[in-house]
Chain A
């Protein structure tokens, strides 16, 4: 695809600038291979990058100003912000929704490419590290939360798990911050830890007392901007941890409360992501109301599934292989052409089907992908639970691995997991 090729070229260009970026930042950042790795996954996943050239410009601008004048950097960074993708140099001007959620998706724990089949571990583990460090570099200039960085930095030293989560959280919050920026986006001293984004996010959402704490000591934060941020930069940042902690005002510096705050920030950042998923929740703030909306939405979706399955069970079973193949082709040919998001609108579907059917006359029997695996599952389900318990995990693993092999599951599934608006309301 042209887009992929161009985007890959853009990524390579950005990768090189990303390298010099890292060298300037001196530390903590993962090596370039992480960048390349992430970029590859991103290239594979999104493929919708409109302006790789613009992205490279952004990157160069960033590396130039690196560490110099915060304002300049912030300005250079902020220009493409609305559509800026977290992976450095891959900023494309998406529609805000799509870019936002895609960013969140990439940065989220779903991305664990190295995590393989590891589920929970993989969630917060390797993928986050990759993402987090690269994003940490890219997130500079987003906001000025150096203090939060420091606090997160200290916390990185204290706990391994929170750091990885923070990384993932940061990456997601980066996107959310670009979308909902309540803080003035001044620069960043340049080397924000990933958690800076999370911190920024939480600060945006939670108490405004943090604002006071923040603005009260901007100078110290600027000077003590942790140069050596990053996942593995604990040793380097230790000497700065002390200063960072002191720079923080009006906040408890207990490690427990830090962990708690980090967790809260991650939760708030995810709530923001969910806001984009759930329709009609862009104006809602607050965890309780958002949770309520999410619950309602999930309930409505599940009810829709019930209703549709009831409808399907009433239809006269006259399934032919032709129909299945044609339906598969139908989905293939009209990927984005789908009915509305939520409402029941069968009449909208009808014209689409009529359109597709004449064109699919010679559709042969569709190739059933994994019928055996699935049949095993279904037999287990329908026939009896005895062999199901043994077969199911195996079938699951088999099908999962198949899909992993076939679909590049991680980037693909995480792309799907939090898809942007073009799919969000058209799926």
Chain B
């Protein structure tokens, strides 16, 4: 059995995504608004399909629903201990490490710190995570993003196919022919 989990995630994501698309299927929005609706529905679908294995789904849903992140789930998840640990480690590291004074190391460290901050901003919910778990979250997020992109691409291609098939009604591709009949009938 190939990875059932990848497929199941994609299926769940697809279902949720299609449901959300149907629900926001009102055509009175501008293109930008629709894009934003589609995008947020995709994010919400991804977060929902992910399940409870990472932190970014909750952060993603919180940001997409634009509700203040003071709901009951947040305080439980806030890894304050992690934050404290990070700061403490930084200070003690500076104290205990041998003073190397090599500027290349300091440059590298600065670069790493800067980029870690950038990554924190990109991964939803990354601000609360400490360096180690941030990398893990990023890994998880990347994998699911990739799946999301694949599913979105399929859906958009399928819908474009459908839209293309409806007008001319010449392409007899399986269900598209059926659907077009159903639509026009």
Contacts and interface: CB of A to CB of B under 8 A. Distances in A.
Interface of A: 1, 3-4, 45, 47-48, 108-110, 117, 119-120, 123-124, 161, 165, 169, 252, 254, 256-257, 259-260, 263, 266-267, 270-271, 273-274, 277-278, 286-288, 291-292, 294-295, 297-299, 301-302, 304-306, 308-320, 322-324, 326-328, 330-332, 335-336, 338-339, 341, 344, 346, 349-350, 353-354, 357-361, 363, 366, 368-371, 373-375, 377-382, 385, 388-390, 392-393, 395-397, 399-401, 403-404, 406-407, 409-419, 422-424, 426-427
Contact of A48 (B2, B76, B178, B179): B2
Contact of B115 (A124, A295, A374): A295
Nearest to A395: B48
Contact of B157 (A4, A119, A169, A350): A350
B37 A252 contact: no
Contacts of A369: 11-12, 15-16
Interface string B124-159: 000000011101101111111111111111111111
A110 B92 CA distance: 29
Given A260-B89, A360-B174, A277 B61 contact: no
Contacts of B22: 319
11 contacts: A309-B39, A314-B31, A319-B159, A322-B179, A331-B11, A360-B174, A368-B18, A388-B65, A392-B61, A403-B49, A416-B6
Interface residues of B, number: 119
Interface string B1-27: 111111111111011101111111101
A309 B43 CA distance: 10
A382 B67 contact: no
B79 to A, nearest CB: 4
Given A298-B123, A392-B71, A305 B39 contact: yes
B67 A392 contact: yes
A278 B145 CA distance: 12
Contacts of A349: 153-154, 157
A108 B136 contact: yes
Interface string B88-113: 01001101111000000000100110
A161 B15 contact: no
Interface of B: 1-12, 14-16, 18-25, 27, 31, 34-35, 37-45, 47-55, 57-58, 61-62, 64-68, 71-73, 76-77, 79, 81-82, 85, 89, 92-93, 95-98, 108, 111-112, 115-116, 118-119, 122-123, 131-133, 135-136, 138-163, 166, 173-176, 178-179, 182-183
A225 to B, nearest CB: 27
Contacts of A119: 52, 54-55, 58, 76-77
A316 B51 contact: no
Nearest to A363: B175
List the 7 shortest-distance A-B pairs measured between CB atoms, nearest first: A412-B5, A357-B174, A313-B34, A413-B53, A403-B51, A389-B67, A291-B115
